[in-house]
A and B are shown apart, each in its own frame.
Chain A
Amino acid sequence: MNRPEHVRKEDERLAKERETIARDGPQLTGDELRARLDRAWRRPPGIIGWLATVDHKEIGRRYIVTALVFLALGGALALVMRLQLAAPGRTIVGAERYDQLFSMHGSTMMYLFAVPVMEGVGVYFIPLMIGARSTAFPRLNAFSYFMYLFGGLMLWIAFILNMAPDVGWFEYTPLSGPQYSPGKHTDIWAQMVTYTEVAALAAAVVLVCTILKARAPGMTLGRMPIFAWAMLVVGFMIIFAMPAVALVTTVLLIPDRLVGTQFFNAAEHGDALLFQHMFWFFGHPEVYIIFLPATGFVSILTEAFCRRPIFGYPVVVLSLISTGILAFGLWVHHMFATGLPRVGYSFFTAASMSVSIPTGLQIFCWLATMWEGRPRFQVPMLYVIGFIITFVIGGLTGVMVAAVPLDLQLHDTYFVVAHLHYVLIGGAVFPLLGVLTYWYPKITGRMMDETIGKIGFWLLFIGFQITFFPMHLSGMLGMPRRVYTYPAGLGLEVPNLISTIGAFVLALAVGLFVINGILSLYRGAVAGPNPWGAATLEWAISSPPPVYNFEHVPVVESHTPLWDGGGDLPVVTGLRVDQKEMLLTTVLTATPDLREPVPEPSLWPFISACAVGIVFAASIFSAWAVAFGLIPCAIALTAWFWPKDMTRKPEPVIS
C-alpha cells in the first residue's frame, strides 16, 4: 500500500527481526522452554504486581475466595435470623435490624456469592479445560474482580454503619422509592447492584470470548467439556439478563430517588409494576445463571467419578441451551399475584413447567452415566448424589409453584423459601462444594482430607434437610416471607424450631469444609497432576498449573482427551516464548486462526476500577458526581489502552 519510504524500510527491518523470534517446538521444549515461558509470563512480585496481575488463575482464585467469604457472612446473617425465628415473639433483633438482615442475606448470597463464585470457577478453569494459556481480555478480567470487590465492600461497610438496605434483595417500588425509603439504604443497594453487574457483565464477555475463540485446536464445539458449554450459555444469559437489573436500578430507580424522575410514581403516570417486570426479567434468568454452571459441575464430576463420558452428550448440551432460552420466558411467574390478565398466566404456567423438561432429561443422563459406569464414592461424588436427592425435590416444588392456583397460595411464603433453597443450595452449592473438592488439588497441589470431607458432606446434607424441609410446612401453615416475628398458636413453633436447629448443623458443616480447606493447604497429601484420573485438559498439566498453563498448545481429538490419547499428548507449536502469546482458533471447528498477544500486567484496570467505583459511590449522594467523575474514569481507561512503548515491534505486544 502507499506507505512512505521510511515506513516501508521499517517494515522490512521488522520482517527480518520477526525471523529471529524464539518459538516453542521440537527444538525448544522441556526445561529450557519452561524457564523461558516462566520469564515471559511471570508478573512482578509484591503488592504492585498483585494489583497489576492479569493471570486468570490468580483472578479466579481471588473471585472464589472472596465469594466464599461472602457466603460465610451471608450464612452468619441467616443464623441470626434463625435465632430470631426459633420461637414466636423473640426479640433478639428488632424489626429494623431484621429487615436489614434478610435484605443483606439475599443480596449477599445472590449478588456477592452465587454469581461471582460461578464466574470465578469459570475464570480459573475454563482456560485450563480448553487448553488456553490465558482468558480473552485478561485486563478486563482483573477490572471485573476489583469492581466486584468494591461493590461487596460498599454493601458490608454500609451494614456496619447501619446504612444497609432494608427492603429486600428485590427492592420493589414504591417501597424502595423516595417517599417510603428515606435515607441512603436503598441507594446503597442499587449501586452495589451496579458494581456487581458491571463485574458480572465484564466476566461474561471474557468467558464467552475465551470459550468461542481460545479453544485448543481440534476442540470443536461438540468436544467441549460440558462445563464449558454451561459457562458459554451462562455468559450469554448474563449478557441478556444483567442489563435489565442494571437499568432498573441505576437508570430508573436511582434517578427517581435522586433527581425526581417519575418512573414508578403512579400519581405522575408512572407504574410500580414496571419495576417488577424489569427486575424479574433479570431475576428469573439469574437463578439459571447460578444453576447451569452447577449442572456443568455435576456433569464433569459424574464423568470423572463414573469413569466414562456422559451418557447423551448432545442431550445435555441441548438441555443447557434450551434452559438458557426458556429462562427468559418465565419472569411473570414471580408476579402471579399482581393481577395481570389470566390468559397471560396460562402461557407463563406452561413455559415455567416446560423448563423442567430439559432439566429432567439432564438428570436422566447423569443417572444413566452412573448406571453404566462404575461410580467411585469419593467426596465429590457424594455431593453429586446429595445434589440429585435434594435438587429434584426443589425442581418438583418448582413445578408446583408454576401452576397459578397453587402459586397464589404458596407464593411469598416459607414454602417458596424452602423451594428456592432446595434449588439454590441443593442445586448449586452442593455441586460447588463437590467441584471445589475435586479441583482443590489442581489449585493448591494438595488433596483435601477425605475423612473430614465425608463427615462434612453428611452433616451438610442432613443439616440442610432439617433446616429447609420443615419450611414447606411452615409456608403451608401460612407463614409469609420476610417477617421478623410470628404469633404463637398457629402451629409454626415446631417447624421453626427444627429449622433453627438444622441451620446450626448446616453452619457447622460449612465450617468443617472451610477448616478442611485451610488445613489441607499445609497437611494435604501432595497431589500429582491427575489425582482423580480424570479426562479433561486441566489434568494434563502440573498441580498447581504453571503461570503459562500449557508449555505447548495441546490438540484435542475427543471429548475426553486424556482417556483417549495414547500415553502422549498431541501439541501444536510456534508460539513465541519471549513475550506472552496465545492461540486463537475459529468459533465452530477450532481451527488455528490467529496468534494473539496477551497483555502485560497493568495497574490501570485497578485504577480504572477505583475511578469508576468512586463515581458510583459518590453518585449516591449527588448526581453531579457522575458528571465530574467521568473525567478521571476517561483518563484511567485511556491510559489502560494506550501503548506504553511507542516503537513498532516485529509482532504486536500489548504493554
Chain B
Amino acid sequence: MLELLWLIPCLPFAGFLVLALAGKRLEGRAVALVGVGSVALSAILSVMVAVDFMSAPPPGHFYTQTLWQWLDVAGLSPGITFYLDALSLVMMLVVTVVGFLIHLYSSEFMEEDEGYSRFFAYMNLFVGSMLVLLLAQNLLLFYLGWEGVGLCSYLLIGFWYKDPKNGYAARKAFVVTRVGDAAMAVGLFLLYNNLGTLQIQELMEKAHQSWSPGSLLPVAAAALILGGAVGKSAQLPLQTWLPDAMAGPTPVSALIHAATMVTAGVYIIARTHILFELAPPVLAAVAVIGALTLLLSGFSAITQKDIKRVLAYSTISQIGYMFLALGVGAWSAAIFHFMTHAFFKALLFLGAGVIIHGLHHEHDMFKMGGLRRQLPVTFWTFLIASASLSAIPLVTAGFFSKDQILWLAWSSGRGSKWLWAAGIVGALLTSLYTFRMVFITFFGEAHSEVSKKPGTRMLIPLVVLAFLSVTGGYIELPAIMGNVTIFSGFMHTALPPVKPLSGEHMEWILEIIAVVVSLGGVFFAWLFFLWMPGLSARLARTSPGMLLHRFWFSGWAFDWLYDVLLVRPFIWLARINKDDFIDLIYTGIAWYNQAMNSILSLTQNGKVRFYAMGIALGAIITIAIAVLR
C-alpha cells in the first residue's frame, strides 16, 4: 500500500492539469467531478496508507519513495523524493480529508461563479503543492511545495480579479510571505554550505553531530528558517497579510488560510526540531513570538465587524498557540492543536460561508443577527466549532489540545509562568471574541433575510467537521483525566516527548483556572453583547476606548508602519527614477556633443568677411604667441 504514496500528491496535480487545459470545455458537473474527485481519491488513498503505516510500521517508522533525481550538481543531488513518518502522515491525513470536505462544499458554494473550473484548478494545484510540502524528503522539494502553496494562495485570494482590492490583497499576501521565504532561502544556503546536503533527516543528524548547542551556525540557520515560518504562518512581524487575505472566496479561507497552508510554518519548525533544539535562543523566540501574536491578534479579533476578519485574527492567534507549544518543546502538542484547529476553524469558515452565501455576500456581522432560526444546522455546527475554539471543557476537541499547550507552557523545562499567563489571557480573549461573534450573528434581532439555503453538499461537510471538532480530542487526554496518549504515542516515533516538571497537583490547579477562564470569556461575551449591548458601545465611546478600538481594529497599526517605512519609499524611488538617472550621463554626453556641434557650426556661416576676419585673428594670435614666448 505504501508504494502508492506518490499518487496522493499526483492525483490533485492531474486534476489541475485536466482543469487547466480542458476546463473551459467541460460542463460544470464534469468540473466538479474532476476537482472534487481527485482530492477524494487522494483522501481515500491517504487513509489506506495511514492504516497500513500504523498497522505494520515500516522499519524505523518512516518510508521513503524516490520518483526521480531532480538535480546533480557538484554533490548537490536532491531527488523528487517523498518521506512519510508520523508527522507527515498526520498532516497529510488532515490536509486530504479536510481538503476533500472543503472541495465538496465548494462544488455547491461556487456553482454559479463563472470561474468554476478555474477555481477547482487552483484548489487542486493547492492540495497537490501542500502535499509535496509535507511529504518532501529534502528542503529543495519542500521549498517547491512551500512556494507552490504561496502561489495558490495568491491566485485564490485574487480569484475575483475584477476588483482591484482583491488583487492588492493577493499581491500583499504573496510579497509579504516572500520576504520570509527569502530569509528561508538564505537558511537553505547556510545549511547546504556547512553540512553539504539538503536532505532533512541527514541534515538533522549532521547538525546534531557537528554543531554544539547555542553556537552561531545553528542559531543563524534556525532564525532564518523561522523567518520563513513567520511569513507563511502569519506570525509577528509578518502577520499583516492574513486579514486581507479574506478577500478570497470563503472555502479558500477555510482550506488555505485556516486549516492547512498557514500551519506550514508550524510544520517546518516541528520537522527541523533538532536544529531548533540546537538553537535555544531561537526556540525561546518562537515561544515569545507565539505568545505575543496570540495576544495581539486576540485583541484585534474583539474589535472586528467583518465575520471573516474575526476568524482571520483568530487563526493568527491560534497559530500563535502552536508556536508557543513549539517554543517550549511541546512538538506533539503543537501538531495536536494543528489538527483540532483544522477541524473547528475550517468548520467556522464554512459556516460563515453559508451565511455569506445566503445574505448576498454580506460580511458585516452587525447586519446579520438572529440567524439561528433561519439556518439551524449551520447554527448548531457553528456553535460546536465555537465551543471547540473557546476550549469549552470536556466536550470539545479544542479543550484538550489547547489545555495541553497551556499545561506544557507552564511545566516544560523551557516553559515559564509568563508564557502560561499569555496563553491564559489569550484563552479569555478567545472565548470572548468567539462568543461575541456567535451572539451577534445568530442571536438578537434579525437584520436581513436569508435568500439561499445551503444544500446537502454544503451541509455534509459541516456535520462531519462538527463531529470531528468534538471527538477529535479524545485520542489524547491529559494525565489527570484518563491519560489517553494515542496521538502523542504515535507522534513520538517522529518527535521527542516533553517531560512536565510540575506534578499532578499543579496540573489540577491550572486545569481549573483554564476552565474558569474560558467559561468566563463566554460569560463576558454574553454580558456585553447579548444582555447589555449598550455597555460595550458605551465603553468604546470613551476616548481611551475609541483610541484602543481603532488601534486594535487596524491590527496594531502594523500596516501603517510598513506602508510608511517600506512601501511608500519603494514606490517613491521607482517613480522618481522612472527614467533612470544613469541614462542622464549618456544623454549628457550626447547633449554636450550636440551643443559643441551647434556652437562650432555657427562659425560656418558662408560670409567671406567673417572668414577673412577669422584668418586674420588667427594669424595675429599665432604670431603673438610666437613672438612673445
* A and B form one complex: no
Residues of B whose CB lies within 8 Å of any CB of A are none
